């Protein structure tokens, strides 16, 4: 039986970042994911903000890795051809006391090495952020903040990792882990895996995984965040990401620009018990709307076209990234709440370093494919270019999703790149995420999925087993 | 650039009536763009009867009603039909760009009629909170799944809103052996036609809850249940009135919205029987939401004539 050098549990942004980083080296790497698709855990409900490194305590691991990650993600997004936009952020103060707090944040962030910070006055704000509440007295401007599509980032990392030899196993839930001699046996819902080194990037379930190796000194507490998406027509509502001053447990309700164009407001921050409670609430809706209007008074509830809830995997105040000497070869990468996405490339480097320090030889491959061809999205390119594409392949002209202009070709490609479900197609292509929410295109996407994956129509799911779209054929 | 006298966007009842009318009024160079693979639009999935009572003085099904216009259009050489053709850009100098498998074309027209129909309001627009499982459909999508694709979306159904499509789908699900557990309507009375209330709901003993709304959707992967509350005239909760209904499917039938995105993007304003740009017209459900298709036909005939007068002047 094959013994892997490294197995990684959890194919969110942390697990795939580590996998892609390790794929540079002559290693057998397996990435195990319990869901039907990658990024279907914590990562899919991430806000997509690449933080500059403000709002973190100066001595924290979070703070250090966030600043590094913000720098590293620029190179990776170029290599993978995933859209990263540096839009900048503003943290705003409503009174004199808040200005003091803003200056303290600035000092802490400068200590961590966040570049380009400056305070901006009312006149600057009026000029550069005209829809902002006019009672705001001052802002802290961080130019290096950016946005990325969190799930497309995961899919692109994974695609590149696969190209460089990483094996990805979905619908593979870890049931138990046994330490045998010099390796681990991983019992899963599918098959048994053996590995020399094991990385736990299991997000909300990292504590459960760690417990399997009797390391039981942390708990993952889900902290729910409800977010509300506005119509793309409001794309230019703000020019920057807008933050209030942070509270003890969160960065507050924000005005978020997204890679898809739709602005988003939220998230709430509510500690809950159930790791599978992704429901939104009327109270969350009212709270987010009220807080968002404090920043941008013109936001109207009629602009909201969609909403969702995500769970932050909180394990105390900081990230937990460490080799466990009680189970040599086992590395916990847990508590990946904000700024986990931003820090992910830095975390991957840190984990590679920990592996090396614990005896894993990292020998570079002769050939590492760093680059990935850009995914084509018709909505993102001008019509003359679309015309050329249609000449090359007629099915670019066969539009399936009319609201977001997604062609049959893009959907077929998404499936070839790994989409297996309706949500997988949605996250990769945006088909079904527009105004009609799939009313017009669901049947055609189902048929393409059925054909490409050789699945009967009744087996097509929203996001994996149990979420079949239809009940039966008539 | 290709030039045409009249381009009509949308081959549903409005676009077809406008095309026939423009032809009869003298325009012999008409291009009719339809994004689907058939003419007829939503009529194709409306296999129930009740169409044509006013216009043809006959009771027809949707496909039969559409068929009458399709026959007329196919019988003349002055109307060219381009199927699987979706308009993606309109500008106020009356050029229109469309995509179809294998081509992207831009056409300069003397006149354009936009007959792009409407879409249904979604669960998200109604702000119903809870989980986001599979099993939530717009009534029109459920209709398409059953009538066109032969696929049954669910077996225990709750319908939100008493719009006509919702009522018709209540009967359709009942006929397929599914259990329709409730129609939930926030208003005091139905939004749909009286005949649909009688023939689709009362005749099938389907309970209708007026002055009620859904407060929450439950279910992890698939819909499991909904909670329902009674509301007062201001749509606020009456305390203590919450109850739950088990179901695996929710249909949304809470209203329709005109599809006018291309017109909006072109900066064109819609007015009665015309727009802010001479030579660009809008008809059918993309102009306003109609109750019955017969009125769509009548009004679109008028728009076809106005467009013909403009083209020929």
Cβ count near A176 (within 10 Å): 11
CATH of the domain at A267: 3.30.9.10
Res B170: pLDDT: 97
Question: Greatest CA separation found in chain A?
Answer: 68
User: What pLDDT score was predicted for residue A46?
Assistant: 96
> Which of these, B198, B86, B68, lies nearest to A400 by C-alpha position?
B86
**What distances in angstroms separate CA A226 from CA A277, A445, B29, B99, one per listed residue?**
11, 28, 54, 38
Q: Whole-angstrom Cα distance, residue A449 to residue A379? A: 21
Place of tokens 């949707």: B62
SS3 B209: strand
Asked if residue A307 and residue A170 are part of one domain, the reply reads: no
> B124–A305: do the CB atoms touch at under 8 Å?
yes
Question: In the prediction, which pLDDT does B182 show?
Answer: 98
Q: Confirm or reject contact between A360 and chain B (CB < 8 A).
A: no
- Domain final residue, candidates A287, A314, A341: A314
Q: Could you say which of A267, A294, A314 is where a domain stops?
A: A314
**Residues of B whose CB is below 8 A from A472:** 151-152
Beta bridge partners of residue A307, listed in sequence order: A228
Assess whether A356 and A418 both reside in one domain.
no
> Comparing C-alpha atoms, which of B118, B45, B114 is closest to residue B300?
B114
Tell which of B126, B134, B146, B148 to mutate to test the A interface (max A CBs under 10 Å). B134
Give me the interface pTM, i.e. the ipTM: 0.96
> What secondary structure, in 3-state letters, does chain A show?
CCEEEEEEECCCHHHHHHHHHHCCECCCEEEECCCCCCCCCCHHHCCCEECCCCCCCCCCHHHHHHHHHHHHHHHHHHHHCCCEECCCEEEEECCHHHHHHHHHHHHHHHHHCCCCCEEEEHHHHHHHCCCCCCCCCEEEEECCCEEECHHHHHHHHHHHHHHCCCEEECCCCEEEEEEECCEEEEEECCCEEEEEEEEECCHHHHHHHHHCCCCCCCCCEEEEEEEEEECHHHCCCCCCEEECCCCCCCCCCEEECCCCCCCEEECCCEECCCCCCCCECHHHHHHHHHHHHHHCCCCCHHHEEEEEEEEEEECCCCCEEEEECCCCCEEEEECCCCCHHHHHHHHHHHHHHHHHHCCCCCCECCCCCCCCCCCCCHHHCCHHHHHHHHHHCHHHHCEEECCCCEEHHHHHHHHHCCCCCHHHHHHHHCCCCCCCCCCCCHHHHHHHHHHHHCCCHHHCECCCCCCECCCEEC
- Count contacts between A and B (CB, < 8 Å): 133
Which residue in chain B has the smallest CA separation from A310? B131
Write the CATH number for A46.
Answer: 3.50.50.60
**B157 & B243 share domain:** yes
A354 in the same domain as A309: no
**Which chain A residues contact residue B149 at CB under 8 A?**
443, 457
Residues B219 and B266 in one domain: no
Same domain, A258 and A309: yes
Tell how far CA A324 is from the center of its chain: 26
- pLDDT of amino acid A456: 96
- How far, rounded to the nearest angstrom, does the alpha carbon of residue A183 sit from its chain's CA centroid? 31
Nearest to B115 by CA among B256, B20, B19, B14: B14
Nearest-CA distance A472 → chain B (Å) = 5
Q: Is the Cβ pair A285, B127 closer than 8 Å?
A: yes
Identify the residue among A227, A379, A390, A399 best suited for mutation to test binding to B, counting B beta carbons within 10 A and taking the highest.
A399
Q: What is the pLDDT of residue A435?
A: 87
Same domain, A141 and A273: yes
Q: Tell me what pLDDT residue A232 has.
A: 87
Cα–Cα dist B116/B260, whole Å: 7
Widest CA span in chain B: 67
Q: Kindly report, residue by residue over B39-69, the tens digit of the pLDDT.
A: 999 999 999 999 999 999 999 999 999 999 9
Of the residues B227, B252, B277, the one at which a domain ends: B252
Residue B101: count of CB within 10 angstroms of its CB: 18
What's the pLDDT at B282?
98
C-beta of residue A337 within 8 angstroms of C-beta of residue A312 = yes
**Which residue in B has a C-alpha nearest to residue A470's C-alpha?**
B153
Domain match, B152 and B62 both: no
User: Do residues A310 and A415 both lie within one domain?
Assistant: no
Q: Is B11 helix (H, G, I), strand (E, B) or coil?
A: coil
> Same domain, yes or no, for A77 and A192?
yes
**Who among B103, B124, B218 is closest to A390 (CB)?**
B103
* Positions of chain A with pLDDT under 70: none
- Quick check: B130 and A279 CB within 8 A? yes
Which are the contacts of B4, defined by CB distance < 8 A and separation ≥ 6? Answer: B29, B30, B31, B107, B108, B109, B110
Asked if residue A423 and residue A303 are part of one domain, the reply reads no
**Same-domain pairing of B99 and B130:** no
Residue that is last in its domain, among B252, B271, B296:
B252
The minimum CA-CA distance between B283 and chain A, rounded to whole Å, is: 20
Residue A465: its chain B contacts at CB < 8 A?
Answer: 221
Q: Would you call A59 an interface residue with chain B, using a CB distance cutoff of 8 Å? A: no
The total domain count for chain B is 2
Q: In 3D, which of A339, A370, A381, A378 has the Cα closest to residue A78? A: A370
Collect the ranges in chain B with pLDDT lower than 50. none
Residues B230 and B303 in one domain: no
Q: Which of B252, B268, B286 is the last residue of a domain?
A: B252
How many Cβ atoms sit within 10 Å of the Cβ of residue A211?
15
Q: What DSSP designation does B198 have?
A: I
Asked whether residue A416 falls in the same domain as residue A342, the answer is no
The answer to whether the CB atoms of B152 and A279 lie below 8 A apart is no
Is B134:A467 a contact under the CB 8 Å cutoff? yes
Preceding peptide of B243 cis, ω within 30°: no
Residues of A identified as active-site: 51
Count the Cβ atoms, other than its own, within 10 Å of residue A261: 17
For B100, nearest residue in chain A (alpha carbons): A397
Per-residue buried b or exposed e for A97-116, using 16+ beta carbons within 10 Å of the residue's own CB: ebbeebeebbebbeebebee
**Boundaries of domain holding B171:** 120-252
**Between B100, B104, B119, which is nearest A387 by CB?**
B104
Could you tell me if B248 and B137 lie in one domain?
yes
CATH code, A402:
1.10.10.1100
Looking at the structure of chain A, the number of domains it has is 3
Residues of B in contact with A460 (CB under 8 A): none
Per residue in A198-213, pLDDT (tens digit) is: 999 999 999 999 999 9
Average model confidence (pLDDT) across chain B: 96
Q: Are residues A77 and A161 both part of a single domain?
A: yes
The reply to whether A68 and A4 lie within a common domain is: yes
Cβ atoms within 10 Å of B28's Cβ, excluding its own: 12
8-state DSSP, B106: E
Pick the residue from chain A with its C-alpha nearest to B121.
A436
Domain-embedded: residue A44: yes
pLDDT at A96: 93
Q: What is the CATH number of the domain that holds B177?
A: 3.50.50.60
Q: Is residue A469 part of a domain?
A: no
Structure tokens at A186: 């991983």
* Residue-range definition of the domain harbouring residue A411: 378-459
Substitution target in A278, A307, A384, A402 with the highest count of B β-carbons within 10 Å is A402
Say whether A466 and B222 touch across the interface (CB within 8 A): yes
The residues in B 192-251 lying below 8 A from A, measured between CB atoms, are 215-216, 218, 220-222, 248-249
Residues B111 and B124 in one domain: no
Q: Both A229 and A303 in a single domain?
A: yes
Among chain A residues, the shortest Cα distance to B83 is held by A398
The continuous run of DSSP H or E covering B87 comes out as: strand B86-91
Which residues in chain B (269-308) have CB-CB distances under 8 A to chain A?
A: none
Q: Is residue A473 part of a domain?
A: no
């Amino acid at each position: 039986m094959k013994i892997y050098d490294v197995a990684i549990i959890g194919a969110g942004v942390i697990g795939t970042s580590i996998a892609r980083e390790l794929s540079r080296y002559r290693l057998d790497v397996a990435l195990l994911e319990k869901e039907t698709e990658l990024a279907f855990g914590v990562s899919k409900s991430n806000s997509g903000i690449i933080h500059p490194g403000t709002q973190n305590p100066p001595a924290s691991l979070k703070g250090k890795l966030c600043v590094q990650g913000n720098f590293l993600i620029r190179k990776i997004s170029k290599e993978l051809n995933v859209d990263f936009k540096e839009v900048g952020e503003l943290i705003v103060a409503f009174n004199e006391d808040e200005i003091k707090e803003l200056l303290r944040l600035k000092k802490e962030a400068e200590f961590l090495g966040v570049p380009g910070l400056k305070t901006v006055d009312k006149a600057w704000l009026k000029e550069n952020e005209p829809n902002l509440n006019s009672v705001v007295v001052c802002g802290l401007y961080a130019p290096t903040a950016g946005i990325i599509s969190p799930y497309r980032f995961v899919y692109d990392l994974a695609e590149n990792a696969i190209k460089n030899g990483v094996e990805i196993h979905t619908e593979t839930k870890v049931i138990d882990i046994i330490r045998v001699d010099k390796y681990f046996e991983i019992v899963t819902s599918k098959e048994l895996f053996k590995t020399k080194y094991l990385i736990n990037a299991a997000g909300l379930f990292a504590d459960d995984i760690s417990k399997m190796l009797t390391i039981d000194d942390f708990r993952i507490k889900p902290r729910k965040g409800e977010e509300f998406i506005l119509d793309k027509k409001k794309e230019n509502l703000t020019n920057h990401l807008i933050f209030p001053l942070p509270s003890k447990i969160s960065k507050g309700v924000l005005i978020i620009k997204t890679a898809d164009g739709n602005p988003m407001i939220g998230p709430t921050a509510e500690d809950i018990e159930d790791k599978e409670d992704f429901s939104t609430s009327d109270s969350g809706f009212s709270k987010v709307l009220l807080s968002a209007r404090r920043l941008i008074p013109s936001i109207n509830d009629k602009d909201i076209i969609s909403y969702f809830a995500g769970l932050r995997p909180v394990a105390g105040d900081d990230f937990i990234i460490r080799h466990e000497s009680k189970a040599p070869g086992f590395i916990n990468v847990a508590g990946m709440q904000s700024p986990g996405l931003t820090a992910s490339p830095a975390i991957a480097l840190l984990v590679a370093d920990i592996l090396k320090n614990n005896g894993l030889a990292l020998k570079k491959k002769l050939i590492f494919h760093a680059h990935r061809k850009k995914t084509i999205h018709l909505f993102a390119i001008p019509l003359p270019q679309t015309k050329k594409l249609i000449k090359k392949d007629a099915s670019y002209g066969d539009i399936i999703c009319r609201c977001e202009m997604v062609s049959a070709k893009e959907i077929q490609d998404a499936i070839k790149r790994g989409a297996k479900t309706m949500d997988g197609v949605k996250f990769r292509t945006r088909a079904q995420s527009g105004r009609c929410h799939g009313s017009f295109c669901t049947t055609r996407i189902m048929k393409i999925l059925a054909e490409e994956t050789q699945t009967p129509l009744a087996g097509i799911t929203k996001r994996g087993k149990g979420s079949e779209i239809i009940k039966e054929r008539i | 650039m290709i030039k045409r006298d009249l381009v009509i966007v949308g081959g549903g009842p409005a676009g077809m009536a406008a095309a026939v009318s423009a032809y009869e009024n003298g325009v012999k160079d008409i291009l009719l763009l339809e994004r689907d693979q058939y003419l007829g639009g939503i009529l194709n999935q409306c296999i129930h009867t009740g169409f044509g009572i006013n216009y043809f003085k006959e009771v027809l099904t949707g496909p039969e009603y559409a068929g009458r216009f399709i026959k007329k259009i196919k019988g003349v050489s002055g109307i060219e039909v381009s199927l699987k053709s979706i308009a993606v850009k309109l500008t106020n100098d009356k050029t229109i760009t469309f995509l179809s498998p294998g081509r992207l074309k831009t056409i300069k027209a003397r006149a354009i009629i936009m007959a792009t129909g409407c879409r249904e309001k979604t669960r998200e627009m109604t702000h119903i909170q809870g989980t986001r499982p599979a099993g939530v459909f717009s009534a029109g999508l459920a209709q398409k799944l059953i009538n066109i694709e032969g696929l049954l979306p669910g077996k225990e159904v709750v319908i939100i809103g008493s719009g006509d499509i919702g009522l018709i789908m209540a009967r359709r699900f009942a006929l397929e052996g599914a259990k329709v557990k409730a129609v939930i309507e926030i208003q005091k009375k139905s939004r749909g036609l009286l005949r649909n209330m009688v023939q689709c709901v009362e005749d099938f003993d389907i309970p209708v809850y007026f002055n009620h709304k859904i407060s929450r959707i439950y279910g992890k992967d698939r819909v499991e249940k909904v909670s329902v509350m009674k509301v007062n005239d201001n749509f606020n909760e009456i305390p203590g009135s919450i109850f739950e209904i088990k179901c695996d499917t929710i249909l949304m039938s809470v209203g329709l919205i005109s599809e006018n995105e291309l017109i909006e993007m072109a900066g064109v304003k819609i007015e009665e029987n015309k727009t802010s740009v001479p030579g660009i017209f809008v008809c059918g459900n993309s102009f306003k939401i109609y109750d019955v298709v017969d009125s769509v036909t009548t009004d679109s005939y008028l728009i076809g004539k106005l467009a013909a007068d403009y083209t020929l002047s």
